[in-house]
A and B are shown apart, each in its own frame.
Chain A
Amino acid sequence: NAGVMQNPRHLVRRRGQEARLRCSPMKGHSHVYWYRQLPEEGLKFMVYLQKENIIDESGMPKERFSAEFPKEGPSILRIQQVVRGDSAAYFCASTNNRGKNIQYFGAGTRLSVL
């Protein structure tokens, strides 16, 4: 029973490039949360998705960031035209019942923008 899978584990991009981060939730989980951890800072909520729907994106920057969770396949966090300030660890977590159960975290993707 695989846990939450994130890939890649490490991603290096130059300023202006696009970054795509993938998250496959635990089997049977249909709720996915994305969180960002900036260097030396705590985790911050970005977006909450269910299959094919964005439920809450109040933590997402208004520009350059988007997320999706298609009917088939992993959830994708996409960052366009990356800047150095996007360098961070991005974690996704999944659960089978929003707000009521433990969230299971992936190992994270560490994005470095050169």
Chain B
Amino acid sequence: KNEVEQSPQNLTAQEGEFITINCSYSVGISALHWLQQHPGGGIVSLFMLSSGKKKHGRLIATINIQEKHSSLHITASHPRDSAVYICAVPGGGSQGNLIFGKGTKLSVKP
């Protein structure tokens, strides 16, 4: 069974700062997901990536398959980026269910 570790658990930043959130997993995977959970509780899928790097606006996700590690970066952070960021990996087998990290709670101060 895959173990997913995220760091840091909590992160406070000033508006405009560059943010990095890390995710490590124990068993090789085909793809990794980054999710954002808003303060109201809703969940949005940000990225699904299996190699290299993906960019969407100010968000960048990278993955190193050999190192079993992924990072989520936020450039020019803004208070509206405040949320919990969760990485998830396939749970094994071919069913597609996900195993989630505990999340990183990001708070961006104006």
- Where the two chains meet, the residues of A that have a C-beta atom closer than 8 Å to any C-beta of B are 31, 33, 35, 41-45, 48, 55-56, 59, 89, 91, 93, 95, 98-105, 107-108, 110
Contact = CB atoms under 8 A, between A and B. Distances in A.
B96 A102 contact: no
A108 B95 contact: no
Interface of B: 30-31, 33, 35, 41-45, 48, 86, 88, 90-91, 93-103
Given A42-B102, A99-B90, A103-B45, A48 B33 contact: no
A87 to B, nearest CB: 14
Contact of B48 (A31, A41, A93, A101): A101
Given A44-B100, A101-B48, 20 more contacts: A33-B96, A33-B97, A33-B98, A35-B98, A41-B102, A42-B86, A43-B98, A56-B95, A91-B43, A99-B95, A100-B31, A103-B33, A103-B45, A103-B96, A104-B45, A105-B43, A105-B45, A107-B42, A108-B41, A110-B41
